[in-house]
A and B are shown apart, each in its own frame.
Chain A
């Protein structure tokens, strides 16, 4: 594989999720019991042999920086494998427009210009999949195109992914040619302004969990309960790395009843859990029932509470005998630290 550097864009927001996440960037959203969304593109980069990765930071970057740190957990932050925190051009603002803004590239021009890599691979953060980028990069090289866009087939239609490979020099040219259109996305510029650009397409035949709303967030987490999806995301040959918190294993007491669920470490389960994803260090007390729900870290569900289609952010306390139900289309969401 020719030398490729990676850029993960984390400075865009999604209207359907924005409100719920408050001070947390989308990329730092907890997922699948012990991960954050950024773990997936970052692990894909690492596992595909990409040694230099830049993350374009959102303005609300506290939780993302806290999670990623030096990138050590992903094998970055070393003399030969580097992770760069790149400033986002819309720093201090919200970006609901495009995932690969040209102004972000221009702002971080040096990151691309100083490197001698042949290609740049750009990924968003709100699609969860486990993929080896090497075949895509190889196809890009073989076809000799300017840009290759990944897509999946869904119900007979081609759905593009937020994943593109570009020649590094082509990206540098774009940045200088279209600096007056820097508020547009790379793909828009290429389609609208460069009719003669060579664009390749790469079909990814794995599973993709797309998260664009809180309803997607619930169904996306619960999709991991399906064995096939689980195996496609957590492949034995491609580890998903994350920032490890040393929590003890989970305890189940004599009154626990758990079926078809994912449970992370450090929980104490005394109640009933069905079709749910429980993050670390959460306690489900006696007589409590949790169904079709996602509970993030450090939640506490008191005795006799009933939750269905419920998403709780971290450190939510559900009171005794509370009865809370959402729907799959519109799950009930409890904000960080809320008492419900």
Chain B
């Protein structure tokens, strides 16, 4: 099992607390998205579509659904004997047990795992991003540059730049400045949190950073500035496709709506490589005699008797007669009773809505409906 060219480490332990009810019981990468998928499908599929056959998934916050979902990794062809997917939760050692304390710490504590594959390069990925990327292309540039670290970058609007790690590039195309979430950004080149490292360099940096007492053990805050200081070769990899970090309810809703738009939806699902998923086996969906469906995405296992406009229905959703669903996202196994009116809402997995419920914010805000909501059965 030695001598892999590149393996991936997928950070999937975050709580995603700003997603509120959606992450009450599950980790953010396991949140349902675009009908039949879960957010982590995008990163896992990217790995497989980029010929990366070994992926460590670092879990921490409420991992049960995520663990169950990933299973043996078979849906993504990651059930291989020489590699495959590995779930890596924090574990105890002779000096005691601790939680992962920062993104870099999570990798530091799995150095032994990485070493079993003896890779030349390690990709660090986030399990909660929505995008399609060929990591093989990034890796090819990384190798051609003889880079120690290649950071995938995205050009963001200046007013949003202070939410990201922002970098500047010199005339040779090398990164010479990096600041994490700067108050006054001087560039719009944002880090996507996708890194390819030369493993020997990353390993040394992790060991060094571990000994720094006031370090937050974070890639953006600590590791990258350290490598820059040491004069290591850091290069950007420019990405121009669709990319979204769904951090908030608003951005999650926006991304869901983008998936049903003809341009972005088609780009993500009709063109290029497939996104794979561990989908439950449902029959094809049924559209009833009085149903009306416009500008929407409907998944397997749905039964639609009401009207759906500009909405996304995940697997196994039922919409009763006379119900009107507009600008909404119904997650897996949601049941909507007769004559309900739901506008601009996200209904969480498995919630049943009582007949005749009206769910609509007078100010047009997004409503998240959970099992504890007044409309739920």
Chain A interface (Cβ within 8 Å of chain B)?
Answer: 32-35, 225, 230, 234, 239-242, 244, 246, 248-254, 256-265, 269, 273, 277-280
Contact = CB atoms under 8 A, between A and B. Distances in A.
B286 A249 contact: no
B289 A260 contact: yes
Interface string B258-269: 001010010011
A278 B300 CA distance: 12
B294 A256 contact: yes
A249 B36 contact: yes
Contacts of B358: none
Contacts of A256: 293-294
Given A230-B283, A278-B284, 5 more contacts: A249-B35, A252-B294, A262-B286, A263-B284, A263-B298
Interface string B290-323: 1111111111100000001000111000000000
B295 A254 contact: yes
A262 B308 CA distance: 16
A191 to B, nearest CB: 38
Contact of A248 (B275, B285, B290, B291): B275
Nearest to B311: A252
A249 to B, nearest CB: 4
B1 to A, nearest CB: 23
Main secondary structure of the interface of A (DSSP, over half): loop
22 contacts: A33-B283, A239-B281, A240-B281, A244-B281, A246-B75, A246-B274, A248-B34, A249-B36, A251-B296, A252-B294, A252-B295, A252-B297, A253-B262, A253-B295, A257-B292, A258-B291, A262-B283, A262-B284, A262-B285, A263-B287, A264-B284, A273-B287
A260 B288 CA distance: 4
Contacts of B268: 248
A260 B290 CA distance: 8
A269 B284 CA distance: 14
Contacts of B300: 34, 249, 264-265
A232 B298 CA distance: 23
A132 to B, nearest CB: 18
A248 B288 CA distance: 21
A244 B285 CA distance: 15
B235 interface: no
A258 B286 CA distance: 10
A254 B296 CA distance: 8
B260 A251 contact: yes
Contact of A260 (B277, B284, B287, B294): B287
B178 interface: no
A152 B263 CA distance: 51
B281 A259 contact: no
Nearest to A259: B289
Contacts of A278: 284
Nearest to B290: A259
B279 interface: yes
A138 B66 CA distance: 40
Nearest to A248: B269
B276 interface: yes
Nearest to A239: B281
B287 A258 contact: yes
B265 A251 contact: yes
B302 to A, nearest CB: 9
Contacts of A273: 287
A242 B275 CA distance: 19
Contact of A250 (B274, B285, B289): B285
A259 B300 CA distance: 16
A269 B34 CA distance: 17
Contacts of B299: 249-250, 265
Contacts of A248: 34-36, 268-270, 275, 297
B294 A33 contact: no
Contacts of A239: 281
Contact of A252 (B274, B276, B281, B296): B296
A249 B281 contact: no
Contacts of B279: 244, 246
Interface string B207-244: 00000000000000000000000000000000000000
Contacts of A244: 279, 281
Given A246-B275, A252-B293, A256-B294, A234 B269 contact: no
A249 B287 CA distance: 14
Nearest to B287: A258
Contacts of A33: 283-284
